[in-house]
Structure 1
Amino acid sequence: MGEKTFSGQVALMSFFQFYGRNRLWAMRQVVKMPDRLRQQKGILFFKTLGTSGGLGCMGSLNFKQGALLTVWPSADDALDFYWNSNIMDDYRLKSSEDYSVLLRPVRSGKKWAGSDVFEPQAMLPEKYPIAILSRARSKLRLLLPFRLRMCGVSRSAKDCRGPLFSRGVGERPRIHESTFSIWESMEALKRYAYGEDNNHQVAVKASRKDNEFKEALYAAFQVTGHRGTIKGINPLDKIKTPSLL
């Protein structure tokens, strides 16, 4: 644990790798875990999520991996949940490995399921990595063209320097499509988002033109903590900024 925490709201995003019978346990938690999370003292928001590869691409659902997003009033509340809750203990017991990042929201636009989930805080002066969570609920008739464009975005991200980590996540990944990615810096993110030779701007412009989304959310975070591994790797292991986890 780090020497100090910071005031203001934080989010905790955790990924878990499951094998064998524990995959069935993980799938059941999509239904069962929300009741336990609602009873968790201090929790502001939560979602149990499925995952897919990269930045979201049709046909790449990952049934061996799940994710849990929780939002807390402070870093102390999030750290208490991470270290001391029975919920996290159960996930660790059933998973072969886990990877968590502590997120300080610095930018947020639009809503998730009608709720203003994230309260942006002032940017910390240290050059922490930047995480991006974007969520789009697509109109059913436009779902296929949207997902085909997402495949192009995922391929261009692989060709671009960064991200350090990326996953497609969602409650219903085929319809409620979300992406979570971590970048070394805001500059690296901007090079990808606004560079000339990638599919990101093309996908964004086409989606806006077609009015594809019933609901969309975009949030940016400073990654103030990271711990664990996923597939044997900590994607931020070489990052030198302090970690609260």
Structure 2
Amino acid sequence: MGQVTTITIFKYPSFGAKFWAFLMMQFAHSHLKKVDGLQFYKLWGSGKEGFNPLPDWSTYALLQIWENEDCASHFFETSSLMEKYRSRSKEHWCLYLKNLISRGEWSGSNPFKKSKEIDENNPFVVAITRATIKTKLLYTFWKYVPVSQEQLLTNEGLIYTKGFGEVPIKQMATFSVWKSKAALDSFAYQSRTHVKAIGHTRELKWYKEELFSRFQPYRSIGTWGGKNPLPRLSNGE
């Protein structure tokens, strides 16, 4: 298998654990830059529920792109850094992903390579969108976000979603897990408020840089909200 992407989400319960996770947004870089087989990574903080720009100090994530699955698994099994993240968290959830499509740029390039090993019997889809918002349009953008997402959280095809960011307010990303491509397409292209948001994006040119990617999740490890959100994939099936 070629390139794989992993995203690991952590929930921290106490003030001390939350403060440690916040500090690691800076101090984890020195370790991650030396990891064998790691091609690209991003440390994410998160926003409050409903894509609120105010920080959710309890939830952090680590996005990583690997040369292959063996490199990813070796890191998760042996990394002292990962053990520290896990030991301080209340719970954590990790998804292994194969890229389906990716358009745009992230930090000046598109780091995702389309996978040639897609399982046609696996219906689940993960979507990641990220953007750097133009400073002069920050207020307009965040004022419109709640309206653009109002039909998302009640969508029956949605399994999980959360807003993340590399830099608060200015560099944002959305991560969502869906029951099927049809469910995601229905929201993306038929939801009135979301389609309107796409129109605003083109008209106002909110972003300095943006990227849109879809993935097929094929392994789901850990728990979120007390359970594995994708139990069918818990054994990498």
Alignment-derived partner of residue 220 in structure 2: 226
More strand by share: 2
SS in 2 for 1:124: coil
**What whole-Å deviation, never above 9, does each CA across 1:152-192 have from its counterpart, x for those lacking one?**
23321012223101010111130001100000110110111
Q: Per-residue displacement from partner, 1:106-141 (whole Å, max 9, x unpaired)?
A: 101111111221111133322241001000111111
Q: Deviations over 1:13-61 (max 9, x none)?
A: 00111122111110110110011001111110111110124562333x2
Aligned to 1:104: 98
The equivalent residue for 1:160 is 155
* Rounded Cα–Cα distance in structure 1 between residues aligned with 2:142 and 2:157: 22
- TM-score, length of structure 2 as denominator length: 0.93
Alignment length, in residue pairs? Answer: 235
Secondary structure of 1:126's counterpart equals coil
Give the drift of 1:244: 2.4
Give the Cα separation in 1 of the matches to 2:106 and 2:235: 28
Instruction: Give the residue type in structure 1 aligned to 2:162.
Output: R
Query: What is the SS of the residue equivalent to 2:38?
Result: coil
Alpha-carbon distance in 2 for matches of 1:112, 1:208: 18
| CA pair 81-57 structure 1, distance change in 2 beyond 3 A | same
Residues of 1 paired with 2:48 and 2:156: CA distance? 17
Map of 1:118 onto structure 2: 112
Give the Cα–Cα distance (whole angstroms) in 2 for the partners of residues 159 and 42 of structure 1. 39
Inter-CA distance 16–211: structure 2 relative to 1 (3 Å threshold): same
Pick from 24, 28, 38 the counterpart of residue 23 of structure 2. 28
Secondary structure at the aligned position of 1:44 is classed as strand
Aligned to 1:40: 35
For residue 158 of structure 1, give the secondary structure of its aligned residue in structure 2: coil
Alignment of 1:66-215 (within 5 A): 66-122=60-116, 123-195=118-190, 197-215=191-209
Q: Alignment partner of 2:29: what SS?
A: helix
Distance in 2, Cα, partners of 1:182 & 1:53: 18
Normalising by structure 1, we get a TM-score of: 0.90
> Within 2, Cα distance between the matches of 1:96 and 1:201?
37
Q: What pairs with 1:56-75 in structure 2 (closer than 5 Å)? A: 56-59=51-54, 61-75=55-69
AA aligned to 2:236 is: L
Flag the 1:181–1:156 CA change in 2: closer, same or farther, 3 A.
same
Unaligned regions of 5+ residues in structure 1, if any?
1-6
Q: Return the letter of the residue paired with 1:157.
A: L
Q: CA deviation at 1:243?
A: 3.9
AA paired with 1:24?
Answer: F
Q: Structure 2: how far apart are the matches of 1:129 and 1:40?
A: 29
User: Which shows bigger deviation, 66-75 or 145-154?
Assistant: 145-154
RMSD between aligned residues: 1.7
In structure 2, C-alpha distance between the alignment counterparts of 1:42 and 1:131, rounded to whole Å: 23
Aligned-partner SS, 1:171: strand
AA paired with 1:67? A
Q: What is the DSSP-based 3-state SS (H/G/I as helix, E as strand, rest coil) of the residue aligned with 1:199? A: helix
Q: d(CA) in 2 for partners of 1:216 and 1:141?
A: 16
| Percent of matched pairs sharing the same residue | 27
Aligned partner letter, 2:171 = H
Distance, in Å, in 2 between the alignment partners of 1:71 and 1:121 is: 12
